[in-house]
Each structure stands twice: as C-alpha cells, then as structure tokens.
A and B are shown apart, each in its own frame.
Chain A
C-alpha cells in the first residue's frame, strides 16, 4: 500500500504489530487518546466481527476528522446491540432511521452540513450486508451516483444475522442459512447468485473503494484514513465473521477473516475512480477447505456424505478472484526473497529505483512472516 510501505507482522500469526513502529505510524487503536466511538458495554455477541470492524473504522474516521463526524446507521445487529434506549455505546453523533435508507440519511446530513458551511464535519453511513447491498442498494447507488460526500462502510457477515441468519445477496454459495438449509441434493445457498458490491461500487466510478477484513485492522484503519482524504462518495467493504451465524468459534473470528483472504475467496484491494490501484497479495495460499471446515454453515460439505465437488466449485471461485485481482505474488523467480519456496536468492537486476522500492516493501512483509 503506497501510504504504508512497511508492515510488521507478529511471527507466525500474520497479525500486524505496532511496537516496532514510530509513534505516529502506530494504529489508531493503540493510541490511548482514541475516541472509542463505539465504546464498551454494548451487547454484541462474543467474537463479533462487526463490532470490532466498526470500532476500528469509526475511530479512524474520528482521528482523520478530529472528531468532527456524524454517523447514520442502518437497522441491523450494529444498531440493535449498540443502542437499546436508554443506553447507547456511541460517543459520536449517531442516527438510526430505517433498514434501507442509511446512505440517503447520510446524504441528507452531508447536504445539511454543506448548506450550513460546515464541510469540516464529515459523514459516515454504515450497515450490514443486508442493509447495504439488498434493501439499501437503491439508496446506496443513488448516493454513489451523485457522488455525495459520504463514506459508506458495509460490515459484511454474509447473511441477515439480526433476524436469525437468513440468506442475503452477500451469502456465499453452499452456505447454510435459515432460508438456505443444508438439505436436498444441493444443500445450502445456490451457486451463481449474489452481488459483488465492491465491484458495483467501482462501476459508479466513485473516488475510492476498498475492501478489508478484521484480520488486518491496521490495514482497515489505513483504508479509512485514505478514504477520508477524498471528497465525494467512498465505499469500504469490511469482511466480518459472525460466530453465531456461521457456527464458528468466537475465538476464530480473526482467523477466519485471515483465511478468507489467504484462500482468495475475499479479495482485499483498493480502487480509485473505478480502477484497482492496489491489492493485498496472498501471503500463504491455502485451499478453501481450510477456511470452510471450521464453520458449521459448511458442515454438510465435509464428512462421509460430503460434497467434494461443491468444495471444488468454491475453490474455482477463489481461483477466479486470484486471477482477476492478481492476488498471488507475481515477482519473477529471480526477485523472490530468500526463504521463499521458489527461489532463495535475491538478485537485484532492475536499476529502476521505484521498482526496487516496491520489491523491498514486499520483501519486508514476507521476511517478517518467516
């Protein structure tokens, strides 16, 4: 990523650490002065990826704006667990209106701020995948198309979790939900459906689109910070595991978020004005089984009566993403860093300084991992 060339990872876990960085390069969450926009005491489930993602994302907005921000929230888990009156976990001005209108409410707030000459106050819209890509899709597309000055963040846990885990337009194929049961000849959700919201957002040619996962929270923060450097419509799609809906252990939330990226099933990238500008390469490619197996929503794919052909189809989806976004390290063998499975010798052949720099950045990442 051009704005954070060096990332340090804790050995073995790939978790980004702070301790080796300068103070000003450390994460927002490591700052004792952070806003805690979504503060403790809310009622999210143990291991909730959405709560984690929202806290990091909004604190990063708060830091970028000096706390001059307003949030509009769609109906959903995030709204329900954070604000049962008379309690609220929000330390920012926050409004919940309806399930399908958060982007439009955000537009209204932004319009009001502009009319009042308060363009310093920035607006965030947010919601889950159902509120964003299904019922809120019209309002979201309208907000994008008008290029309203709103950052919209979708916390994607791939189903309607608040109502009891029903299928959404973001539910992946073969996943079991309350409305795509693991029964019949083709158990779980069907193949060939669903929306690729980040690409749809890009098709609006808005200034900034990014995807992120809660496994790489510093990356999420950096993307929020980047998003806030633009005016106009911006979209960040955050992959947030849901232990309740996915049938995964609450202590596996970060792991699953990491594995989904490492399989290629969830490409992590940035795009500006409709063009992909950066991708997070897969660090250690893994087969999709490794990601699917710990989740009970995919249990029907495994075991004696499993569906290996379905797993193959899911693998094909991952492979397609890898090809589409060039998610694998495409350095020639000669530039592979020492310790890599392919080549162990580093030989700098290019005289182009910028190429060297970019190769070095990747080198740092990769060597840190081993």
Chain B
C-alpha cells in the first residue's frame, strides 16, 4: 500500500511485519523515531508476542539482543553513531556467536567534536566486525532491506546491519509502498535457530578457543559471510517475485554500460548523483553511477565487472580514514587489482554537510578536465583550514579548532563579545 510516511515509521512498520520477538531500545538520534514507532506498536498490542525492553545503554541493547537471539527469539535493535561505538564489544560478539540479529544504524558522524548529523563514519568503523552491512538508498529500499535482512541473517546465522542515512532518510517523508503481512509471512519463514539455549537439550555457547582452532574459526566466519554474495541476489529475486519490486542486491549500476567515468557511492547520496549524471548525460558525457548496497560482504567481482571498462572512477564517500583517505576507495581499488584507470577519492558530506548538485557538477567538471587530485574534500574551505593551521603554529594553546573556525567564518553566535 502506498503511504506518504517518515522513513523511520516505514522501517518501524516493516520491522513489525517481520514479527520480531524481542526489541531492545536505547535512544540516540537520529534512530529514535524507529524505536519509538515500534514501542507504540508493541504497547498498543498491534505487534503481539513481542517483548520491548528499554535498556540502559547500547551495550546493553546489543547484549539483550544476544541473549534473546541465543534463546531462539527473532531480535532487533537500532542505533547510530556513538551508540554503535558504545556497543562495539557486543557487536563483535554477536557475529562471533553467529546470532542472526538485525540492527538498523541511522548513519551519523562520530565525535569529537560531537555532531548529530549524517555521515558514514559510524558503520564504516564496523566494516570488519563480521556483520553483513547493507546500505539503503531510499526509504523504500530501507523498508525492503529490513525484510530481506531477517531472511538473510537467519539463513546464514549471521547478524545484519541495515544502514540508512540519518535525518536524510530517517526523518524524510517520502512515498513508500508498504508491504502487507501476508506478503511478509510468505517471504519470511519462522526463525529456526541453528543452535539454541534449551533446557531440553543443554549446550554451552561462547566457550574459549585457543590458537589450535582460532584461525579456522575466523576463516569459517569469512567463508560464511562470503556465501551472502550468492544469497543476497537470490533473496532480492525472491523479494521481487512476492513484492513486485526490485530492491536490494549487491550493487546498483546506473547508466554505466558505456560510461567512461563511473561514480561509486553508498546510501541516499546516490539519488543526487543520479540526477547530476542524467543532466551530464544529456550534455553528452559518458558518465554513470555504481551504488554499493552490500558493503559487507564486499562484492569484489560485481564491482570489478562494472568498472573494468571505465577510464575513471570517482569514489564519493561519507567517511574519512584518518591517515589514509578513503575507506570505500581502498576497498574498490582492491577490486580493481591489475586494471589501470584513473581514480579519485572524494570525501563528502561529513557531519551533515549537504552534497549539492552544483558541487557535484563542479567536481565532475574538474575530473573531466583531469584537474582532480587523488584525495579531495568536497566543498572544503582550504583557506579556512590553512588559517587554523597557522594559528596552531603560532600559539601552543590556540584553542578548539572547531571554535576557531566558526569564529573565522563569522558565525554570529561564536563572535567574541
């Protein structure tokens, strides 16, 4: 059914259709609306047979989900930013234990300085934690990916993180075609755990393993996640059969067939990039976009297949690997081993900075003129940064960089009296 609803509400409703048995919630922006929506559904009785636990931290949220999942319940939680980092120890534990927990991450920057707005620093920090990571482009896809996530998680006995851009998606009202219960029931069978805490057949879960087996155990975790490279497209196909919608999959190429330049990105920014690409296509430029939906497992072959005939790849990413540059870029370059093409890493949208069509056009013009450096920060004021670097050279106690920059820019509230 078509609805004009908030992204968070669409996700909450989609989760409810998956009949979760335990939901644990701890508030952190911009994820809060999702768990608020689910709380209302449980409290009103619309979502029956589900325990809603208001926990005291994200660490507890993931831990409650671990206990619930190990006891055979379909478990869900949501978080963002600092919250994801606060639960990291349990995040690794959940994947190590092979528990099919589904978690939404409403992508948000990581402090300090504290910043509540969108970028991908939070989930990128967890790219190697053993969870599958799916990135949604739209609210429709966010809703659909959650339904697919439970199926994927339970099939493989692995946790799945569905990443959606904070505020840009979570708080945006868009048209979403909401599935109905019959469809979801037909698609998602009841949870049959691979191992379960059961007094009728007692087992010990989570015991210690030494060097004699640890490498093999880790390899098998990798092997298991790599199976998702086959499973994710199958699950998307099956989804299309039931819901009549093309959603999910490993990657989403757009106008890449004859593209000389391909832009690679994840998440909601893909929409803006596609608009820009359409405009440039009209002007005759052979340019396309490759959206990565599954960042973990990383679809090396699929990406290689799309990019191998391009002459330039521009990887636009909303996270910065401090001391290196781009995280997605590093992964994409890995996929392009042996292929020679020009590549640029563009760090964009950090801490919620808008990525506009104007800026993208300017960026792609520079690229076309071959003037783009290997590592670029979109819309960054280089002069501003240079002045702050000078200040730190002149004075040891030069103060907070954030504060100095805001004063320099002339934000009224930050001006000295």
Contacts and interface: CB of A to CB of B under 8 A. Distances in A.
A90 B197 CA distance: 12
B207 A97 contact: no
Contacts of B57: 138-139, 142
Interface string B198-218: 110111111111100100000
Interface in A105-122: 105-116, 121
Interface in B78-101: 89-90, 93, 97
B70 interface: yes
B60 A70 contact: no
A191 to B, nearest CB: 31
A93 B67 contact: no
Contact of B70 (A67, A95, A98, A121): A95
A307 interface: no
B286 to A, nearest CB: 52
B206 A138 contact: no
Interface string A73-102: 000000110011100101111111110110
Contact of A115 (B21, B24, B93): B21
A70 B197 contact: yes
A352 B67 CA distance: 51
B67 A105 contact: yes
B51 A112 contact: yes
A92 B202 contact: yes
Interface in A54-78: 67-70, 72
Nearest to A117: B49
Interface in A141-179: 141-142, 145-146, 148
A121 B66 contact: no
A268 interface: no
Contacts of B206: 83, 95-97
Contacts of B65: 108
A108 B50 contact: no
A194 B56 CA distance: 23
A240 interface: no
Interface of A is mostly: mixed
A288 interface: no
A104 interface: yes
**Chain B, interface size: which category?**
35 or more
A109 B68 contact: yes
Interface in B369-393: none
Given A91-B202, A139-B59, A111 B68 contact: yes
B72 interface: yes
Question: Most chain-A CB neighbours within 10 Å: which of B71, B93, B203?
Answer: B71
B265 interface: no
A104 B67 CA distance: 7
B67 A107 contact: yes
A146 B210 contact: no
A95 B205 contact: yes
Contact of B67 (A90, A95, A142): A95
Nearest to A104: B63
Nearest to B207: A83
Contacts of B176: none
Given A96-B207, A115-B73, A146-B54, A104 B22 contact: no
B53 interface: yes
Contacts of B89: 98, 100-101
A283 to B, nearest CB: 39
Interface in B128-165: none
Contacts of B73: 108, 111-112, 115-116
A109 B60 contact: no
Given A92-B202, A93-B203, A107-B64, A112 B71 contact: yes
A105 B64 contact: yes
Contacts of A70: 71, 197, 199
B202 A94 contact: yes
A105 to B, nearest CB: 4
Contact of B207 (A88, A91, A109, A114): A88
B75 interface: yes
A146 B60 CA distance: 13
B66 A85 contact: no
Given A100-B59, A101-B59, A138-B59, A109 B71 contact: yes
A90 B204 CA distance: 7
21 contacts: A79-B207, A85-B213, A93-B202, A94-B204, A95-B70, A97-B90, A101-B59, A104-B67, A105-B64, A105-B66, A105-B67, A108-B75, A111-B51, A111-B68, A111-B73, A112-B71, A113-B71, A116-B21, A138-B56, A138-B60, A146-B53
The list of the 5 closest CB pairs from A to B, nearest first, reads A108-B67, A142-B56, A104-B63, A112-B73, A101-B63
Given A93-B197, A139-B59, A142-B60, 14 more contacts: A70-B71, A83-B207, A85-B209, A90-B202, A91-B202, A92-B199, A98-B63, A107-B67, A108-B66, A108-B71, A112-B68, A112-B71, A139-B60, A146-B54
Interface of B: 21-22, 24, 49-51, 53-57, 59-60, 63-73, 75, 89-90, 93, 97, 197-199, 201-210, 213
Interface of A: 67-70, 72, 79-80, 83-85, 88, 90-98, 100-101, 104-116, 121, 138-139, 141-142, 145-146, 148
